[in-house]
A and B are shown apart, each in its own frame.
Chain A
Amino acid sequence: MKQEGKRAIWSEYQKEIADDKFFYVRSCIRQNFFPGSEVAFLRIMRDVLKKDVYEHPCHTTCSGIGYHGDVVPVETAMTVVARQFALMTEAGYTNYVPSCITSFGLYTEILDTWHHFPEVEEKVRKQLKKATGREFRIPENLAHASDVIYKFRKEIFAQAKYKLINKETGEPLKVVDHIGCHYAKMFPSKGVGGAEYPYVLSGMVEEWGGETIDYPERRHCCGFGFRQYLVQANRGFSVACSKEKFESMKPFKPDMIITNCPGCPMFLDRWQYVINEMEGKRYGKNGEGIPVFTYEEVAGLVLGFDPWDLGLQMHQTDCEPVLKKMGIEYSPEDKYNTKICASVSENHNLINV
């Protein structure tokens, strides 16, 4: 594989990412799946990078989960999204940062639709005004939270306590980067590095000392697919998608997987347990699973955050092999005794209004 070819493609897909003053909106499902990740994002942005990040207490679901689950019509989704933009406008912010990939995809899709069909935007404005009395401005900058961490990857590394390097061997950790489908497959120009060879997570991994691996099924969906998982009869298809990816990445002996979507880490993590229960198969070294992380968790580990404050005890596939490889000092006995609430001051994990 020729890295320079990838670099040429990456150079064509650079996007503008704001520098400060972010209006951050959380994901509906991440707080249940990986509750430490969004808190970690806020700690990194506020404590480490000293950025202004604002959260609004009235923010709701973007309804993307319903839109992609075929229960919310697009016009309803647009009006819900218009309301989120109104909250941003009222708070005096212009840089919109969603935590969720599907939200990011939905926002991108809606902004593109409004761009091509201004009459739809007008209709939505009227609907919002009528329903809530609110008005909105379109964000000046829309970036996914992983874009923001990508932008500050060097600043994060400057304060790093650990690297993505196997402390014993000195070798870079081999990392599978898995990008949420709704990040760039719909609009390749809106993703760092495009859709075929996305760079957003690879850029972090490279910067922090690791090495990404390019395996044949790298571009493919984890299998969540909303309806595919939500309906039990479809779950066999959902898990088969993840299985195909594991089978394909296995020969490369990955140390870990890094993701930027709410669903992917959930399913890549949980399905490993299910596949092992059903077929007795494991895909990591020494009969272990392959630990799956969110990018905030990885950034947090690099910065020396306590693994249990990052919520790694919520993972089904054990993360400790990676902690050991990186040489992270942590106490296994505190696994279910996180100190996050005590250690984080109020404005870090509570709504700041």
Chain B
Amino acid sequence: MEKFGFSISKGRQIDYEANDRRVADFIYEREPSFRLCIECGGCSATCTTGNLTKFSLREIHILIKRGENDKVREDIKKCMLCGKCTLVCPRGVNTRNIVMLAKQAFIKSDEYAV
């Protein structure tokens, strides 16, 4: 690298094939309403954590579904589990349980996380 003064950039494309979606599968199996999200963002808008820190439950849903686990593993800990997101969800998604399950999935990292 020193030789050239730059290094080869890493792509920011989501490589669906290369990603591991076992965390998503773990949640789908235990909380089928996870499938119902239409990404309206109601949960994020009402979220206390999201209004004070960079935390978006809507985005986390998508990232888990795509298998972008590294971006979620730490972020998910910010949730205070107040449950306001579940209250506002127009699709009846049990968002609070999804956070719980995601945490579990990451704790069982030997088995599920990548």
Contact = CB atoms under 8 A, between A and B. Distances in A.
Genuine A/B complex: yes
A233 B10 contact: no
Contacts of B10: 240
A277 interface: yes
A281 to B, nearest CB: 10
Nearest to B3: A277
B8 A279 contact: yes
Interface in B7-29: 7-11
A278 B5 contact: no
B52 interface: no
A57 interface: no
Contacts, number: 29
A67 interface: no
Interface in A224-261: 232-233, 235-237, 239-240, 243-244
A244 B11 contact: yes
A350 B90 CA distance: 75
B9 A278 contact: no
Given A240-B11, A244-B11, A235 B3 contact: no
B2 to A, nearest CB: 10
A274 interface: yes
Contacts of B9: 236-237, 239-240
A275 interface: yes
B1 to A, nearest CB: 7
Given A233-B6, A235-B6, A236-B6, A278 B11 contact: no
Contacts of B6: 232-233, 235-236, 239
Contact of A243 (B1, B4, B5, B8): B8
Contacts of A233: 6
A244 B10 CA distance: 10
A240 B8 CA distance: 5
Interface in B49-79: none
A239 B5 contact: no
A240 B3 CA distance: 17
A232 B5 contact: yes
Nearest to A223: B9
B6 to A, nearest CB: 4
B14 to A, nearest CB: 15
Interface in A259-282: 274-275, 277-279
B10 to A, nearest CB: 7
Nearest to A233: B6
A236 B7 contact: yes
A259 B11 CA distance: 25
A236 B4 CA distance: 10
B4 A274 contact: yes
A232 B1 CA distance: 13
Contacts of A240: 8-11
A238 B2 CA distance: 17
A236 B8 contact: yes
8 contacts: A233-B6, A237-B9, A240-B8, A274-B4, A275-B8, A277-B3, A277-B4, A278-B7
